[in-house]
Structure 1
């Protein structure tokens, strides 16, 4: 699956912001790359305090991105090209401009649909508990009543513009079932679920022994706010809805969760046979460039998650993380691109599903030198710190040409919503397609081989004994993958040219920062 961050993919109307018509125009590019489907980040009606993850209307297209007619055209084109289409759904919280929350602020019964609570202290001036928000600051904001008096507080685990919904109220579950059916009826193939380990909070909302954990890690760590057992009932209900649609036409609908939990064993609970089909395995995404670390997290995933009957869902990049080209760079910055290519080839050799993030096939680096005045990430504006900000991986894609906007917008358009650096000229899709040695061609060939080689049909892997710093495993009855995490060349597992390699790979040698595939016939190994 290929993740499209709509805002940064392709601008069709010249306003500097990507849109649904732009996605539709670039579908042939994705088909040529060889992906099976597309995941769209939120494009719903939103005030854009967190670029669409603050949803004001879950069944409307934000005018910045187009119309429902544009969406229907996109669905039709995906169907014609044989591409699956899944949407991002955001059930943990909504926008402070959602009709429910506006009614709640006005004093209506809708307050029961959120987490409103009286404050502590003599005048209720202290928040109801000590939780901190993941994006910085207290996780509670106090409202002012219509008569001007100070009112209760409401919970927001991200920003004040994203109030958390109260999933213990049956109206919330009913509303989201309506939302799912609205989009399923329009032909989508499933949903990526934002904050899938969220939704339910400890019913007593007690103080946390480590209240700053989420803020410190930028992750869902507070055990009182995340990963509550009741959430699994929601995924069973959603799975039943998807299976109802599948029973009608035989086309499977997919649920994939952003379930950031402490261990693979805990994540396995989300992909039991009657819950989510897939859940992103973030332990690989967070792994440093280290053979032992990669070995351990892959082992844990195959052991714990595959044992449920689900597929492991691998990912190395997404819209919230520093790109691998930059993340894997060592003391020598030039090592980053080679390691990113090697990691991609490793991921695409593993049993399970793989999700790619737009631009990784172009070898895009993280943009780390954005001026303060152009940064849009609410993390920066709430904390004043650049730690954990996400704009650097969300820069609009470079498609063609030698200068901005690099084909992202039509001629004479407004500047892209985030500035593209001049060095993006070396990473345009136009240039990548013309260079058979580019990362784009490596991804395309790897995706093709995943589809046609029978060895990939086998769901397991067998590790090989290897020299220090090298990982190697065999898939099925003969697809061998080896990766050199070391700083110098290593002996290749077989003394012949590889079927596919992430970089130059002489026969019998596996250079540093290189991954390669061979068809193994049972002969010599190392």
Structure 2
């Protein structure tokens, strides 16, 4: 125990997310792969992260970049072979790191053997593996979907299958039919594939849209005042199934679990992560990373809003629950472009400031590939340059139907698109940033790669990479940043984020200036020994985008 918390390795770890398609291509086909990741493990070990999170590597037709799985026990052929996975896992472990993989168990690909069988007839043995319903008759005698659920990727969440004349549910793309978790055979299939990967040696799972697994079998319409996402995330048997999963699988391994939890409020988080409930270790709450969003549209956000979320999390999650700290991943724009200042003058200091915050707040930090060198959003200009199914479907649904102008849609997409995070990792200043020897990578490299790349960052002692490395070392040696109490010292300040992390007699004050202007510090925090800072300054004030950690 420490400060009332049960000590766990995953609480003390820092996780680094790898998007395999965009990390490193080893065979010149323009697509990142597992041997490419293995070749870069020393870079990650030197950075100082503890756990690597591998986004989906399974066999997939790639309707949604691997989140539509055709075979859970097979590696995607573009990424390599099972031997390549085993080599990667061995390389991770030999360097003293751990590996977690994605568990995508709400839905499969429509090319999965289960669904191929399920759609053949209503009597098929696999029919009940998915959610099939008859349509309903509309006012003009037309056939309508079973209810008014919308897909996260535009349009209805139901597709009529002509073979049997019934609709199947897909909360995401048409090629991602939802599994029927009320069928105990489906649950056992999922538990068995989890055992397969855990027995292979992986250290846990990031669980894709895991709160969506339980549905109200009656499928009533979403009413105007209701949120479909909230309904999807609070099905009638969710906690029953998670406890069963824990009992049948997770409790038998020393592993970590983190659930992607759209629709779960901060206040409801302990229902999934309180260790006395035996469900998950932690979840991703999206109130912070989507603070700059109003639905699919970009919105201006304020620092007091961000601080208020962290304060709510601290209150809601007691000594028996654990938090995640993140502001970027494969589904969101680049960290420094979304929450920092990606101008030439302030990109580096603001990237360092954000790293300072992520690695000193209360919870397990998650870093996304490329953020350790300050990669930025890509300057996409046309819809043809995007690859993301969400962007392309929304273009068809909103722009081609006249609901939204092309200019407005593209301007907004330039700020919020998932493709910003998926552009190839910028390794050096050679062609295609050293990501691939192919003439054309699967997604365009950001044209700023000659000035922003890993080789340059590793060689520069003042780079974002080297600063993050020092931060990681400081966090690893400072338990106050893991188990210490959290106190916001200036919740209403418009540009200063000042907070303390206290463990016993050890107290650190973290001072962050989220603006380009110099800001005076309160006398109460302008003293102490500076443990780390991103700029040279005076104790009485912070320069623009200055970050400082002070041992008070």
Do both share a fold (TM > 0.5)?
A: yes
Q: Is the 8 A contact 1:268 1:308 kept in 2?
A: no
The CA deviation at 1:337 is: 5.1
Q: 2 CA distance for matches of 1:378 and 1:449?
A: 40
Distance in 1 separating the partners of 2:154 and 2:25? 31
Cα drift, residue 240 of structure 1? 2.8
Alignment of 1:322-341 (within 5 A): 322-328=333-339, 335=346, 338-341=349-352
Any conservation in 2 of the 1:261–1:267 contact (CA below 8 Å)? no
- Contact kept, 8 Å, 2:60 with 2:66, in 1: the verdict is yes
Query: Given the alignment of the two structures, is residue 109 of structure 1 paired with residue 125 of structure 2, yes or no?
Result: yes
Deviates further, 231-240 or 388-397: 231-240
The residue aligned with 2:540 is: 508
Quick one: which of 372, 391, 398 aligns to 1:361? 372
Distance change >3 Å, CA 499–CA 290, structure 1 → 2: farther
**Superposition map of 1:22-421 within 5 A:** 22-107=36-121, 108-121=124-137, 125-145=143-163, 151-210=165-224, 221-246=228-253, 252-273=254-275, 274-288=278-292, 290-305=302-317, 307=318, 309-328=320-339, 335=346, 338-369=349-380, 371-384=382-395, 387=413, 388-402=416-430, 404-409=431-436, 411=437, 413-421=438-446
When structure 1 is superposed on structure 2, of 501-510 and 253-262 the one drifting more is: 501-510
1:13 match: secondary structure: coil
In structure 2, the CA distance between the partners of 1:233 and 1:502, relative to structure 1 (3 Å rule), is farther
| Cα distance change, pair 32–457 in 1 and its aligned pair in 2 (3 A) | same
State the Cα distance separating 1:243 from its structure 2 match: 4.7
Q: Distance in 2 between matches of 1:243 and 1:154?
A: 30
For 1:475, the equivalent position in structure 2 comes to: 501
- Structure 1, residues 475-519: CA drift from partner, whole Å, max 9, x if none? 122221011234522223224673212334333321232221011
Aligned to 2:403: none
CA distance change for structure 1 residues 129 and 467 in 2, over 3 Å: closer, same or farther? closer
TM value normalised by structure 2: 0.86
Q: Give unmatched runs, 5+ long, in structure 2.
A: 1-14, 293-300, 396-408
Structure 1 counterpart of 2:459, from 423, 428, 434? 434
User: Which residue, 446, 449, 455 being the options, matches 1:424?
Assistant: 449
Q: Distance in 2 between matches of 1:11 and 1:85?
A: 20
Deviations 1:192-228, CA, capped at 9 Å, x for gaps: 0000211111221011114996xxxxxxx43332222
- With the length of structure 1 as denominator, give the TM-score of the two structures: 0.90
Separation in 2 of the partners of 1:186 and 1:349? Answer: 33
Deviation at 1:233, TM superposition (A): 2.1
Runs of 5+ unmatched residues, structure 1: 214-220, 247-251, 521-526
The residue number in structure 1 matching 2:513 is 484
Provide the residue aligned with 2:468 in structure 1: 443
SS in 2 for 1:483: strand
Shift of 1:345: 0.8
8 Å Cα contact 1:3-1:38 kept in structure 2: yes
Cα distance in 2 between the residues matched to 1:467 and 1:302: 17
Q: Is the 8 A contact 2:340 2:514 kept in 1?
A: no
**Cα distance 1:144–1:454, how it changes in 2: closer, same or farther (>3 A)?**
closer
1:281-326: CA deviation from partner (whole Å, max 9, x where unpaired)? 3222233553311221111111112x15132111111000011221
CA distance in 2, matches of 1:104, 1:341: 51
How many residues align? The count is 500
Q: Which moved more, 1:256-265 or 1:325-334?
A: 325-334
- C-alpha distance 136-497 of structure 1, shift in aligned 2 (>3 A): same
Q: Distance in 2 between matches of 1:212 and 1:125?
A: 25
User: What is the CA-CA distance between 1:38 and the residue it aligns to?
Assistant: 0.1
| Distance (whole Å) between structure 2 residues aligned to residue 419 and residue 240 of structure 1 | 45
Deviation at 1:330, TM superposition (A): 6.6
- The alpha carbon displacement at 1:374 in A equals 3.6
Range moving further from structure 2, 383-392 or 270-279? 383-392
